[in-house]
Structure 1
Amino acid sequence: MLTLTHDAVQVIRTVTADPQLPPESGIRIQAGVNGSDTLQLSVAPAPEAGDKVVEEEGARVYLEPTTAAMLDEMTLDAKVDPQGDVAFTLADTAAEA
């Protein structure tokens, strides 16, 4: 199952803290369109039917089923640059051990 770093948890909680979003909001990761190798990340008000849910310290990540299998044994990290732009990265959990 996908794991989250402390930085990823903090960024996800900040991004989903908008009072206009429902309390169960999270980040949804899904495969790119048309068989693309890229992943799409978006803020989601709730998981979609069939999504796998990763929750850690109040940060929620919703994974489309195919993406969940693809990201098994991966770690999601996040960094914020001085301009406030967020970059999410994935790393193989086994390689970090």
Structure 2
Amino acid sequence: MFVAIADPTRRKLIRLLANADELPLHELTDQFQMGRTAVSKHLTILREASLVIDRKVGRETRYRLNAAPLQEVKDWLSFYEEFWKERVALLQNLLSEDK
């Protein structure tokens, strides 16, 4: 999962798919300065991480986001969010004591 979302191109693909029900490969490719094959490779990595679902419509492959696996990332990050909230609160207390 983390490998899949580590790349900025794949994060952009996730964002594009989040804003649409479904997009064909050629529309996704138009959003990048790379060829269709490169975009397809990124989509394959996202599909292997279960973040993208594809289906054939005639000769066209259409993609949609499966956001459910991102819950794992959210859960992992929530620990660190609490960690930093506590640290910031501690720092604020220390700074207010110095006044």
- Please give the TM-score of this superposition, normalised by the length of structure 1: 0.28
Greater fraction of residues in helix: 2
Give me the TM-score of the superposition, normalised by structure 2.
0.27
Higher strand share: 1
**Bigger radius of gyration:** 2
Choose between structure 1 and 2 for higher RCO, CA contacts under 8 A separated by at least 6 residues.
Answer: 1
